[in-house]
Amino acid sequence: MEVKGTGIKATRDFVKEKFPKRFNEWIQSLPNESQTIYSGLMDVGKWHDIKTTYYVPMEKIVELFYNRNAQKAGEEMGRFSAETTLTGVYKVFLLVATPQYLMKRATNMMQAFYNPSEIEVTETSKKQVVFKIKSFNGITKATEYRFAGWCMRALELCNCKQVSYRITSHLSMGQPFTAIEFNWE
């Protein structure tokens, strides 16, 4: 399984912005291969092994900054990533997209950043979307919550109010897929 450099950059930028005084501590806690990638110039178009460049660095964030709370860490990383992604080049898109369309496009974008993966919107209604991760080798709880946090913030930026979610099954816990149900007013 591979992750595109954009996901790695978002992780690095998250730690730099949210925990600037502990950034070097985080870098030093990583394996040598991860340290090299996170310390140098990043090619956002390059593919990297997901375990050493994504899962392990995120688990260190969970451990060092969130007292091993994968849900809180994942949500905050996801929200940060959506904020930085969707308030730049894609800001205009948010003004015209429906929440349902936005979530369908988000699943396409996520599949383009994680290879191989199978992610789709399986149900939509006026105030709800169900997002399913069917294939994502080695997915962690923090990654599932990162997706949830990203989608929550994206829906908020799309002017949805009182956005909430619940994960009804976890691929990371051996279930056949991850299902995340989003609701809003």
Mean pLDDT by 10 residues, the chain (185 residues): 95 98 98 93 94 97 98 98 86 85 92 96 96 97 98 95 98 98 97
pLDDT score of 94: 82
- Judgement on whether residues 48 and 119 belong to the same structural domain of the protein: no
Write down the pLDDT at residue 40.
87
| pLDDT for res 129 | 97
In a shared domain, residues 139 and 157: yes
**How high is the pLDDT of residue 92?**
78
pLDDT, residue 121, reads 96
Q: Let me know whether 128 and 170 are in one domain.
A: yes
User: What is the pTM (predicted TM-score) of this model?
Assistant: 0.96
H helices present in 47-140, as ranges: 50, 56-65, 70-86, 91-96, 99-113
Q: Please report the pLDDT score of residue 183 as a whole number.
A: 98
Residues 53 and 100 in one domain: no
Measured between alpha carbons, how far is 121 from 129 in angstroms, rounded to an integer?
Answer: 7
Instruction: Output the pLDDT for position 95.
Output: 79
> Do residues 55 and 88 share a domain?
no
Query: Domain range holding 63?
Result: 2-72
CATH number of residue 164's parent domain? 3.30.1380.20
Helix (H, G, I), strand (E, B) or coil at 6: helix
Instruction: Provide the pLDDT for residue 90.
Output: 74
Give me the number of domains the chain comprises: 2
pLDDT at 91: 79
Which of these three, 26, 55, 72, is where a domain ends?
Answer: 72
Same domain, 103 and 168: yes
Query: Which token pair is 35?
Result: 């340290």
CA-to-CA distance for 146 and 150, rounded, in angstroms?
6
Whether residue 78 sits in one domain with residue 67: no
Residue 160 sits in the same domain as residue 120:
yes
Check residue 71 and give its pLDDT: 98
Among 72, 104, 120, identify where a domain stops.
Answer: 72
Q: How far is CA 119 from CA 19, 46, 105, 137, 176, in A?
A: 31, 21, 11, 12, 13
Looking at the structure, do residues 65 and 80 belong to the same domain, yes or no?
no
- Return the half-sphere exposure (C-beta side, CA atoms, 13 A cut-off) of residue 117: 25
Q: Side chain identity at 136, as an amino acid letter?
A: F
- pLDDT at residue number 96: 82
Same domain, 170 and 95: yes
Q: b/e per residue, 16-35, with b = 16+ CB within 10 A?
A: eeeeeeeeeebbebbeeebe
Phi, psi of 106 (to 5 degrees): -60, -40
Q: Which of 5, 78, 13, 10 is nearest to 44 (CA)?
A: 5
CA distance 22 to 64: 9
Same structural domain for residues 44 and 112?
no
Residue ending a domain, choose from 72, 87, 114: 72
Tokens matching residue 117: 């993966």
DSSP 99: H
